[in-house]
């Protein structure tokens, strides 16, 4: 009745029908976490087993059953969960225990999810490598000496290792796309405004980051995307809620492969070959896949991005300016840059962003979706803070090696990260498949067809001591 790499939709259907009890699922989930999490460090702030079993027993007695009834979930440690330590990976918040749920967390709870703990993240979510001074580093399940990516690294590893069936993530600069690719699972960055963030602070200016679901199939992502979205009267830019399931049938699409953006994005050997081979899963579904020349200046996108990103990050960190001794170097770098910009510099960055938006709109008149790799390098050493060079080309910032995600992030486009396969060293890579704003449902349907061709999370799970599974 319980399969660690099975469908989340099957699990909730069995929980709803009584074929599987919440107690049985919770017991199996916690046993697997006990066996595997010590070597992975994906789930942190794990709650007391007795408390969780009592909540599972209460779920079995309940007569009202929501879409996620009885399903164990761990929430990314950037989001507030009532009664759970919410550290953001920072010693400054090590003892902070929120007294209420964040907006999307409250929606998951109302749908019946049982929160077992948190998933690990980098400090303040900065950098695509999950380590912090509170909980330490999360390890890649395919090679424990390698990074799992980030900032939704703990979530991706928990999914990849079969510790949970669904996970939440958030994504500013590839924070759920890169870890999905490096852990052989799926991550979805929805159209900006689809999943509204907590209505605190500024509600208008910083349209870069978004919350989104992660799973082991696009169909399961759709299950979570029917719970997380929806307008909130305090969020003026939130989109109206639209049903995602069932996913529609997909007519043959015209898909553009952008590769390394005409050489603008340096790639480690093997990445492009692995990704191009993965494109055959789309061709096998009857879609037309063709190479596309760079549609816009990668450097102008980058210039706009790093200005608006620092502007947004500094807005979140400025209250901690007098405690910068407790901040990591990259957080201080973002804070200082963001506080230094003039209004006209922000406007110039927004002008570049607007130019890219206009060009992208033209591009999507000819293509239903576009494709890029999820990262420019393979999972790197756990001991490395970030890659300093790719193929001998020096990286001029802590995040330049993730430049490949910025065309999507800058415009808030819907983007599905899918597993692409494995390189020569047995490490995973992923593809970003993205479309025009609002095309979330058709993009997930395209991804589900891809999944039915590949089924990589189920066919090629990581080999872990004590798991009983492997490649």
Q: Which residues are catalytic?
A: 76, 151, 175
In Å, how far are 54, 70, 311, 463 from 74, measured between CA atoms? 17, 13, 30, 22
Contact status, residue 213 vs residue 152, Cβ threshold 8 Å: no
Q: How far apart are the first and last CA of the chain?
A: 22
DSSP-assigned states of every residue in 373-418? ES-SS---BTT-SS-SEETTEEPSSTTGGGGGGHHHHHHT--EEEE
Cα radius of gyration rounded to whole Å, the chain: 21
For residue 129, cis peptide bond before it (omega within 30 degrees of 0): no
Enumerate residues 6+ apart whose C-beta is below 8 A from 354: none
Half-sphere CA count of 133, side-chain side, radius 13 A: 9
How many CB atoms neighbour CB 237 within 10 A? 11
Q: What pairing do the DSSP bridges indicate for beta strands 254-257 and 369-373? A: parallel
Backbone torsions φ then ψ of 277, nearest 5 degrees: -65, -40
């Amino acid at each position: 009745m319980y399969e660690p790499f099975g469908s989340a939709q099957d699990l909730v259907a069995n929980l709803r029908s009584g074929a599987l009890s919440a107690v049985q699922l919770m017991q199996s989930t916690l046993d697997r976490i006990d066996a595997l999490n010590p070597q992975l460090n994906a789930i942190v702030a794990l709650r007391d087993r007795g408390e969780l079993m009592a909540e599972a027993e209460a779920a079995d007695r309940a007569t009202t059953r929501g879409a996620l009834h009885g399903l164990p979930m761990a929430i990314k440690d950037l989001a507030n969960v009532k009664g759970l330590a919410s550290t953001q990976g920072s010693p400054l918040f090590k003892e902070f225990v929120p007294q209420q749920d964040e907006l999307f967390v409250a929606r998951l709870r109302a749908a019946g999810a049982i929160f077992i703990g948190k998933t690990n993240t980098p400090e303040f979510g900065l950098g695509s490598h999950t380590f912090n001074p509170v909980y330490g580093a999360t390890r890649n399940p395919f090679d424990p000496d390698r990074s799992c990516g980030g900032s939704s690294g703990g979530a991706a590893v928990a999914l990849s290792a079969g510790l949970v069936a669904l996970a939440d993530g958030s994504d500013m600069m590839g924070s759920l796309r890169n870890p999905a690719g490096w852990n052989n699972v799926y991550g979805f960055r929805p159209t900006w405004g689809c999943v509204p963030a907590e209505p605190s602070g500024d509600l208008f200016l910083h349209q870069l980051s978004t919350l989104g679901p992660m799973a082991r199939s696009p169909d399961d992502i759709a299950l979570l995307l029917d719970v997380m979205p929806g307008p909130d009267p305090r969020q003026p830019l939130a989109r109206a809620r639209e049903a995602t399931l069932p996913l529609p049938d997909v007519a043959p699409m015209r898909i553009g492969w952008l590769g390394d953006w005409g050489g603008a994005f340096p790639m480690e050997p093997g990445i492009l070959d692995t990704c191009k081979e993965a494109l055959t899963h789309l061709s096998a579904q009857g879609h037309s896949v063709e190479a596309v020349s760079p549609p816009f200046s990668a450097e102008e996108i980058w210039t706009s991005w790093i200005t608006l990103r620092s502007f947004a990050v500094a807005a979140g960190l400025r209250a901690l300016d007098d405690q910068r001794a407790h901040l990591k170097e990259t957080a201080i770098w973002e804070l200082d840059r963001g506080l230094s910009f003039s209004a006209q510099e922000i406007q110039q960055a927004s002008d570049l962003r607007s130019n890219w938006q206009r060009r992208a709109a033209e591009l999507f008149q000819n293509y239903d979706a576009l494709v890029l790799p999820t990262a420019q390098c393979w999972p790197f050493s756990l001991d490395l803070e970030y890659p300093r060079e790719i193929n001998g080309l020096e990286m001029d910032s802590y995040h330049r090696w993730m430049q490949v995600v910025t065309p999507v992030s800058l415009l808030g486009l819907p983007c599905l990260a899918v597993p692409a396969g494995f390189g020569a060293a047995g490490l995973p890579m992923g593809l970003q498949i993205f479309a025009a704003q609002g095309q979330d449902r058709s993009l997930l349907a395209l991804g589900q067809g891809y999944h039915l061709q590949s089924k990589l999370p189920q066919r090629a799970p990581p080999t872990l001591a004590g798991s009983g599974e492997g490649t």
